[in-house]
Chain A
Amino acid sequence: MSSFLDRMLGRVKLGGWLAVAAPLLAVVFAAVITSVILLATGKAPLEAFNALAQYGAQPRTMVTIINTGTEYYISALAVAIGFRMNLFNIGVDGQYRLAAVVAAGVGGAALVPGVLNIVLVIVVAVIVGALWAAIAGLLRVTRGVSEVISTIMLNSIATGIGSWLVKNYFGVLTGNELATKEIPADAHVPGMALIPGTQLQVSGFVVLAIVLGVAYYVLLNRTRFGFELRATGKSESAALSSGISPKKMILTTMIISGAMAGFIGMPELLGSSYKYGTNFPTGLGFTGIAIALLGRNTPVGMAIGALLWSFLDNSSDTLQLLDISKEIVAIMQGVIVLSVIIAYELVHRYRIVAEQRRVSRELAAPKGPQQVEGAPA
């Protein structure tokens, strides 16, 4: 019997037409609720949706949506690895920020030239992310500290360490902005002019994101480690009795999740701002949690979720041009996540009820003769 949590995290699969029904139901839910809120605030929903559609169709905004979506997607992957085995790595946020600060410092120092510097920056980020996540993993394994609590606290500590590093070691002052030294131009990852009609370029990291998505799928579904991970996620005791060490799995999973988190800041660092300063995006780790839920931890689902989320986030300016408050975006995002969870739960329950009916019908058929047998003649 599956629990609500299993169903929410997509560990139970829906088959056939139900797999299509759930997301459709979610979209309808979200559209209806958003329309009601828009109407309540005195705005015409159709006008707003129309503006959103027009916004999404412009070449410039498509590029922005893809670029932001790339970061969101990698973040969702990092979160999802933990989710698949019941680990709530809330610390993806701290892991990617600390990884990016250290990597920015190392990259800015230009220890090695050109492409080597790119590789160095990414390797440093991945290692820092993995090590930072390992702390939470070790605490859980050795002292039984819930990773939810420890990672939240580690997020705070990561912020402090980041500031300390920038202030004392990596920081360079430009105007009012204190940031790490800019990574030299020979180590910038170029964009790709994929979408005609705009000067903006699609980040080269889209390729990396796709590779990571495929790696995630292969790791979880086509390797022994992935099987053990999913098995431990479904039942720790069953995993233990079949020879899997849950402690080892917890530590390894946290490390892989943290390593993946190390990639999150790379599109911004190597493809856009080339430094870590006050404008470096924060909170991507939390966005990742929402998208992992939205995409139900599947590589394709999360990709769609990341693009949708990015589209909504980036559309806030366009909505404001129409005098629609930007908070409507946050409401829409919240409603969509809830809709997805509710819709899937409803469909799951429908399936369970339908199955029970089917079973009781099948049981009812031989019931008749039995009664006849037991009844007095």
Chain B
Amino acid sequence: MRSIAALVAGVLMASAAGCGTTAAHTAHASVDVSSMKVGLAYDIGGRGDQSFNDAAAAGLDDAKRNLGLRQVKELEATPGEGDQQKADRLRVLADAGYSPIIAVGYAYSDAMKKVAPDFPHTSFAIVDDDAARGRNVTNLLFAEEQGSFLVGASAALKSRTGRVGFVGGVQSPLIEKFQAGFTQGVKYVNPRASIEVKYLTQPPDITGFDDPAKARTAAQGMYDAGADVVYQAAGGSGAGVFEAAKDHEAWAIGVDSDQALTADPEVRPNILTSMMKKVNVAVYDYLAGIADGTMRAGPTVYDLRLGGVDYSTTGGHLRDIDSRLEELKQQIIVGKIRVASH
């Protein structure tokens, strides 16, 4: 129920925000939804990754249900592929008449830069990327640092040892945003808390997003050293952090989706909360905007106010501190607390 409410609120707020801003360029007019052909290009993992891609898929499914989308096509990336394949994927969709086309993940940045100008009458959106701009490109961005601040606060409130950990998949600027917000949240609640940070790989090696064994070792080290809450922003590797939390009977914090609902049932009791990055809200919002002709090109940042990021309460582990977290959330929304993104 909560997520639907957030979804509706997000959509309402997004359109309200849209009315307030001066239109730089309106890319689209209102479209007949039933004849709209929507293409989604996933990053590696695709639908079923229990995390980032699945969140995008959920937004698409909501749009199918609520907006009456009929023609939808989802294409998946192959591990190890280069920009040529990514560009080709966008071209295949555009050639087949799909519009809008949503690229899920900043890996599509260069491909988008190449392909979007060749199809001026096709609408494109790209998640997590601000670099690929164009008259027909909408950039769907998130204030990951705000959501991470809140789960950081929850970690500090729940920690008995005053030691917490952060496991990042790949040390890219995007994941550093999660770390920055988390650190600020922890320190806001407990300035003396210590935070141990570990990234699994360094770019351009992106295997850190798909290496649960490595993540497990990293998290075990943190728990052994006395940490009792570890936040993971490590994509598919996160499962390893959950296993380590189970072994040590300690807390882990999930990411992207509400992982207390999506992770392996065995480890779910150890998931304190999840930093939900609601790609589904952004995707739904974008499609709704295309459908009623209000969607604009350029960046939109989905933050706490727009319901783009949030923390989950599944499992009821936060009951004792929920009011405190809600208070912090409101303070961020009204700007009393400013969370830096790096």
Q: Contact residues of A with B, CB < 8 Å?
A: 60-61, 64, 67-68, 101, 159-160, 162-164, 166-167, 171, 173-179, 199, 268, 272-273, 276-284, 313-314, 316-318, 320-321, 326
Interface of chain B residues 185 through 207 with chain A (CB within 8 A): 201-207
Interface of chain B residues 56 through 96 with chain A (CB within 8 A): 73-76, 78-86, 88-89, 91-93, 95-96
Partner of B173, one of A101, A178, A321: A178
Q: Please, which residues of chain A bring their CB within 8 A of the CB of B82?
A: 268, 272-273, 279-281
How distant is the Cα of A245 from the Cα of B204 in the complex, in angstroms? 41
What mask results when residues 293 to 314 of chain B are scored 1 for a CB within 8 Å of chain A, else 0? 0000000000000000000000
Not counting A317-B92, A320-B76, a sample of 17 additional A-B residue pairs whose C-beta atoms are within 8 angstroms of each other reads A177-B106, A178-B172, A178-B203, A272-B84, A278-B170, A278-B172, A278-B204, A279-B110, A280-B82, A282-B79, A282-B80, A313-B81, A316-B78, A317-B75, A320-B74, A320-B75, A326-B75
Q: Please, which residues of chain B bring their CB within 8 A of the CB of A174?
A: 109, 131
Q: Find out whether the CB atom of A321 lies under 8 angstroms from the CB atom of B75.
A: yes
Q: How far is the CB of B220 from chain A (nearest CB, A)?
A: 21
How distant is the Cα of A273 from the Cα of B109 in the complex, in angstroms? 12
Q: Find out whether the CB atom of A175 lies under 8 angstroms from the CB atom of B204.
A: no
Q: How far is the CB of B71 from chain A (nearest CB, A)?
A: 11
Known: A163-B203, A164-B202, A321-B92. A283 touches B172 (CB 8 A): no
Q: Please, which residues of chain A bring their CB within 8 A of the CB of B110?
A: 177, 273, 279
Q: Find out whether the CB atom of B78 lies under 8 angstroms from the CB atom of A60.
A: no
Q: Please, which residues of chain B bring their CB within 8 A of the CB of A159?
A: 205, 207
Q: Find out whether the CB atom of A281 lies under 8 angstroms from the CB atom of B206.
A: no
- Give me the 5 closest cross-chain CB pairs, A-B, nearest first: A175-B131, A281-B82, A163-B202, A283-B80, A176-B106
Q: Find out whether the CB atom of B96 lies under 8 angstroms from the CB atom of A321.
A: yes
Known: A278-B107, A313-B78, A320-B73. A166 touches B84 (CB 8 A): no
Q: Please, which residues of chain A bring their CB within 8 A of the CB of B201?
A: 163
Q: Find out whether the CB atom of A177 lies under 8 angstroms from the CB atom of B131.
A: yes
B118 at interface (Cβ–Cβ under 8 A)?
yes
Q: Please, which residues of chain A bring their CB within 8 A of the CB of B84?
A: 64, 67-68, 268, 272, 281
Return 5 A-B CB contacts under 8 Å, by A number. Answer: A61-B88, A64-B84, A178-B172, A268-B84, A317-B75
Q: Find out whether the CB atom of A167 lies under 8 angstroms from the CB atom of B202.
A: yes
Known: A178-B172, A268-B82. A162 touches B131 (CB 8 A): no
Q: Find out whether the CB atom of B203 lies under 8 angstroms from the CB atom of A167.
A: yes
Q: Please, which residues of chain A bring their CB within 8 A of the CB of B258?
A: none
Q: How far is the CB of B78 from chain A (nearest CB, A)?
A: 6
Partner of B79, one of A199, A276, A283, A321: A283
B174 at interface (Cβ–Cβ under 8 A)?
yes
How distant is the Cα of A281 from the Cα of B111 in the complex, in angstroms? 13
Q: Find out whether the CB atom of A277 lies under 8 angstroms from the CB atom of B204.
A: yes
How distant is the Cα of A284 from the Cα of B174 in the complex, in angstroms? 27
Q: Please, which residues of chain A bring their CB within 8 A of the CB of B210?
A: none
- With both beta carbons as reference points, the residue of chain B lying nearest to A167 in the complex is identified as B202
B285 at interface (Cβ–Cβ under 8 A)?
no
Q: Find out whether the CB atom of B172 lies under 8 angstroms from the CB atom of A176.
A: yes
How distant is the Cα of A278 from the Cα of B80 in the complex, in angstroms? 9
B145 at interface (Cβ–Cβ under 8 A)?
no
What mask results when residues 126 to 169 of chain B are scored 1 for a CB within 8 Å of chain A, else 0? 00111110000000000000000000000000000000000000
Q: Indicate the size class of the contact surface on chain B.
A: 35 or more
Q: With a 10 A CB-CB cut-off, give which of B171, B203, B206 has the most chain A CB atoms.
A: B203
Q: Please, which residues of chain A bring their CB within 8 A of the CB of B73?
A: 320-321
Q: Please, which residues of chain B bring their CB within 8 A of the CB of A321?
A: 73, 75, 92, 96
Partner of A176, one of B89, B96, B129: B129
Q: How far is the CB of B96 from chain A (nearest CB, A)?
A: 6
Q: Please, which residues of chain A bring their CB within 8 A of the CB of B76?
A: 316, 320, 326
Known: A277-B203, A278-B107. A175 touches B130 (CB 8 A): yes
Known: A176-B128, A199-B118, A273-B110. A318 touches B92 (CB 8 A): yes
Partner of B204, one of A280, A283, A318, A320: A280
Q: How far is the CB of B75 from chain A (nearest CB, A)?
A: 5
Q: Please, which residues of chain B bring their CB within 8 A of the CB of A268?
A: 82, 84
Q: How far is the CB of A289 from chain B (nearest CB, A)?
A: 14
How distant is the Cα of A179 from the Cα of B106 in the complex, in angstroms? 13
Q: Find out whether the CB atom of A279 lies under 8 angstroms from the CB atom of B107.
A: yes
How distant is the Cα of A169 from the Cα of B203 in the complex, in angstroms? 13
Q: Please, which residues of chain B bring their CB within 8 A of the CB of A318?
A: 92
Q: Find out whether the CB atom of A162 lies under 8 angstroms from the CB atom of B205.
A: yes
Q: How far is the CB of A107 from chain B (nearest CB, A)?
A: 16
- With both beta carbons as reference points, the residue of chain A lying nearest to B89 in the complex is identified as A317
Q: Please, which residues of chain A bring their CB within 8 A of the CB of B170?
A: 278
How distant is the Cα of A101 from the Cα of B84 in the complex, in angstroms? 18
Q: How far is the CB of A349 from chain B (nearest CB, A)?
A: 36
How distant is the Cα of A317 from the Cα of B116 in the complex, in angstroms? 18
Q: How far is the CB of A314 from chain B (nearest CB, A)?
A: 6
- With both beta carbons as reference points, the residue of chain A lying nearest to B172 in the complex is identified as A176
Q: Please, which residues of chain B bring their CB within 8 A of the CB of A175?
A: 106, 109, 129-132, 173
How distant is the Cα of A337 from the Cα of B128 in the complex, in angstroms? 39
Q: Find out whether the CB atom of B81 lies under 8 angstroms from the CB atom of A60.
A: no
Q: How far is the CB of B48 from chain A (nearest CB, A)?
A: 11
Partner of A314, one of B75, B85, B96: B85
Q: Find out whether the CB atom of B83 lies under 8 angstroms from the CB atom of A176.
A: no
Q: How far is the CB of A172 from chain B (nearest CB, A)?
A: 12
Q: Please, which residues of chain A bring their CB within 8 A of the CB of B130?
A: 175-176
Q: Please, which residues of chain B bring their CB within 8 A of the CB of A280?
A: 82, 204
Q: Find out whether the CB atom of A166 lies under 8 angstroms from the CB atom of B203.
A: yes
Q: Find out whether the CB atom of B131 lies under 8 angstroms from the CB atom of A278.
A: no
Q: How far is the CB of B320 from chain A (nearest CB, A)?
A: 36
Q: How far is the CB of B132 from chain A (nearest CB, A)?
A: 8
